[in-house]
């Protein structure tokens, strides 16, 4: 399977730049987490990659082929969209049947299994479903199409904890039974932290993180102790944020710790999780330079 | 045995460590089959590539071996290997830390020896 690559991709709405100079290579058979704050352009990026929207500038390549829009490999790339592309008055089973025709094939067995697991009747109409169920249904369709690149835009929106957990399990099951690339755009970071192999963070029009999860977590630290010692230890390191609590000073780092620097006894250095790293990287006002 | 994960080290290493712990405590005796990548992946919603990386680490260190078409099995020498490794890590992990903490608490070397003897009496 070819890579899907963007070069200097720019998207403008009017004179507002939403995505600026995005250089991204998606590889086959990888689960990506696409993270970013509200309105940062995650959905826009996915819909450009899936050819639902066009870029203002820049290039998208499918393997070695530059895509012009007309020759987009539609059946190889599938976007589960926020916006409903299905006919709201159709029964779910009609939608899956039509999707099967459009996409070339469809995993009806998995669809049936998932509909049962989520207690959803195929005889229902799309407009009879609650927000959560609509998300579930759209995700089921996305997991059952034969695409090699599947973009899941907020696949757990409006789902309760039980169904979220069940859905993650099905994503993994689908991935294992037929490895393909998933890009999961979500705000529930904690819950996908074990699911994804690679992390993408969009912030303020830019792609500020594009790295394996393992590397991202390896660089994320919280250093705390007496202010003077913390400051001295963190000199020239990439500081995302700092907090003062009495005489206790805490600094959040996104960097590799210099091995030659000795860590004083009174400093505590810990790793932080993906969610906290994300918050520190994308907080307005904190100086994040990655 | 329990699988519990934290932020301290990469997830694949934690998976390897916890299976190692299972072998060490006898949950997975020599010759027994350990849970498959798929089982661990599904149970804890972990990316199968991550689980596999942890498994490969255990294969590389000779604690488990792959039997084609059957799964992963604990090697006969695994418990002895783990014991040996942990003995060499014991000083670094426990003794050094123990002494640092004792010094901060103003406990002398003799106090420590006394405490160790007391610990053995109660063990």
Query: Do B72 and B99 lie in a common domain?
Result: no
- CA angle at A28 for the pair B36 and A135, rounded to the nearest 5°: 80
Whole-angstrom Cα Rg for chain A? 21
Ordered structural domains, chain A, with CATH: 4-203 (3.40.50.300), 216-282 (3.30.70)
Distance between CA A47 and CA A40 in Å, rounded? 13
Residue B33 falls inside a structural domain: yes
Query: Do B51 and B87 lie in a common domain?
Result: no
Q: Write down the pLDDT at residue A284.
A: 67
Q: E strands of chain A, at which residues?
A: 4-13, 16-26, 31-36, 57-62, 65-66, 77-80, 149-153, 181-185, 198-203, 206-212, 220-226, 239-245, 248-254, 268-271
In chain B, residues with a C-beta closer than 8 Å to the C-beta of A278 are none
Residue with tokens 């995302």: A240
Q: Which of B4, B5, B7 to mutate to test the interface with A (most CBs of A within 10 A)?
A: B7
pLDDT of residue B54 exceeding 60: yes
Structure tokens at A229: 């010692």
Is residue A208 helix, strand or coil? strand
Burial call A213-248: b when 16+ CB within 10 Å, e when fewer: bbebbebbbbbbbeeebbeebbeebebbbbeeeeee
In chain A, residues with a C-beta closer than 8 Å to the C-beta of B44 are 194
* Cα distances (Å, whole numbers) of residue A2 to A55, A69, A73, A179: 20, 17, 11, 14
pLDDT in tens, A235-262: 999 999 999 998 899 999 999 999 899 8
Task: Tell me the HSE value of A134 on the side-chain side, using a 13 A CA sphere.
Answer: 21
Q: Write down the pLDDT at residue A288.
A: 47
Query: Do B16 and B71 lie in a common domain?
Result: yes
Q: Write down the pLDDT at residue A68.
A: 81
Q: Write down the pLDDT at residue B98.
A: 87
Q: Domain count of chain B?
A: 2
Query: Do B93 and B72 lie in a common domain?
Result: no
Q: Write down the pLDDT at residue B64.
A: 97
Chain A contact residues (CB < 8 Å to B)? 30-31, 165, 168-169, 172-173, 175-176, 191, 194-197, 214, 217-218, 265, 270-273
Q: What is the DSSP letter of A204?
A: T
| Contact partners, residue A28, CB within 8 Å, separation at least 6 | A1, A2, A3, A148, A179, A180, A181
Structure tokens at A80: 């589960």
Distance between CA B30 and CA A47 in Å, rounded? 52
Query: Do B86 and B30 lie in a common domain?
Result: no
List strands edge to edge, sheet with A206-212. Answer: A77-80, A149-153, A181-185, A31-36, A198-203, A206-212
Query: Do B66 and B20 lie in a common domain?
Result: yes
Nearest CA distance, B79 vs chain A (angstrom): 29
Structure tokens at A115: 């509909």
Residue B99 falls inside a structural domain: yes
Nearest CA distance, A218 vs chain B (angstrom): 7
Contact A55, A18 (CB under 8 A): no
Q: Write down the pLDDT at residue A214.
A: 93
Query: Do B37 and B64 lie in a common domain?
Result: yes
Range of the domain at B85: 79-122
Query: Do B37 and B56 lie in a common domain?
Result: yes
Closest-approach residue (CA) in chain B for A168: B45
> Using the beta-carbon criterion (under 8 Å), do B38 and A176 form an inter-chain contact?
yes
The H or E element spanning position B81 is: helix B78-90
Query: Do B85 and B31 lie in a common domain?
Result: no
Contact A124, A92 (CB under 8 A): yes
Residue with tokens 């755009």: A185
Residue B5 falls inside a structural domain: no
Q: Write down the pLDDT at residue A285.
A: 56
The CATH number for B38's domain is 1.10.10.10
Please list the ranges in chain A whose pLDDT falls under 70.
Answer: 81-84, 284-290
Q: Write down the pLDDT at residue A62.
A: 93
pLDDT in tens, B12-49: 999 999 999 999 999 999 999 999 999 999 888 999 99
The H or E element spanning position B99 is: helix B96-104
């Amino acid at each position: 399977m070819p890579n899907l690559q963007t070069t200097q991709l720019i998207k403008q709405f009017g004179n507002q730049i939403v995505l600026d100079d995005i250089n991204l290579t998606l590889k086959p058979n990888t689960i990506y987490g696409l993270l970013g704050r509200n309105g940062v352009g995650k959905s826009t990026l996915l819909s450009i990659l899936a050819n639902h929207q066009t870029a203002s500038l820049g290039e998208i390549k499918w393997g070695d082929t530059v895509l012009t829009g007309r020759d987009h490999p539609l059946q190889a790339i599938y976007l589960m969209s926020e916006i409903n592309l299905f006919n709201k008055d159709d029964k779910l089973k009609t939608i899956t049947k039509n999707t099967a025709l459009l996409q070339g094939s469809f995993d009806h067995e998995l669809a049936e299994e998932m509909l049962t697991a989520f207690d959803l009747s195929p005889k229902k109409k799309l407009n009879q479903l609650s927000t959560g169920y609509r998300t579930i249904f759209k995700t089921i369709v996305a997991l059952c199409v034969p695409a090699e690149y599947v973009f899941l835009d907020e696949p757990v929106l409006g789902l309760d904890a039980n169904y979220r957990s069940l859905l993650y399990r099905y994503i993994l099951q689908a991935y294992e039974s037929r490895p393909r690339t998933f890009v999961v755009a979500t705000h529930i970071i904690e819950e996908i932290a074990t699911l994804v192999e690679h992390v993408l963070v969009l912030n303020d029009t830019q792609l500020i993180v594009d790295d394996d999860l393992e590397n991202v977590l390896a660089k994320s630290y919280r250093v705390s102790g007496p202010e003077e010692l913390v400051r001295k230890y963190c000199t020239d390191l990439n500081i995302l944020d700092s907090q003062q609590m009495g005489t206790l000073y805490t600094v959040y780092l996104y960097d590799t710790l210099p091995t030659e620097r000795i860590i004083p006894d009174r400093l505590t250095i810990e790793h932080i999780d993906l969610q906290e790293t994300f918050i520190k990287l994308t907080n307005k006002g904190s100086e994040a330079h990655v | 045995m329990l699988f519990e994960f934290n932020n301290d080290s990469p997830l694949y290493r934690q998976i390897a460590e916890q299976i190692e712990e299972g072998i060490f405590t006898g949950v997975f005796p020599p010759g027994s089959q350990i849970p498959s990548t798929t089982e661990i992946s599904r149970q804890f919603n972990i990316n199968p590539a991550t689980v596999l990386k942890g498994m490969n680490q255990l294969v590389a260190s000779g604690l488990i071996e792959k039997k084609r078409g059957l799964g992963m099995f604990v090697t006969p020498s695994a418990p002895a290997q783990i014991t040996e490794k942990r003995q060499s890590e014991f000083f670094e992990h426990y003794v050094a830390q123990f002494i640092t903490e004792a010094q901060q608490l103003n406990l002398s070397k003799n106090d420590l020896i006394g405490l160790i003897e007391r610990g053995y009496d109660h063990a």
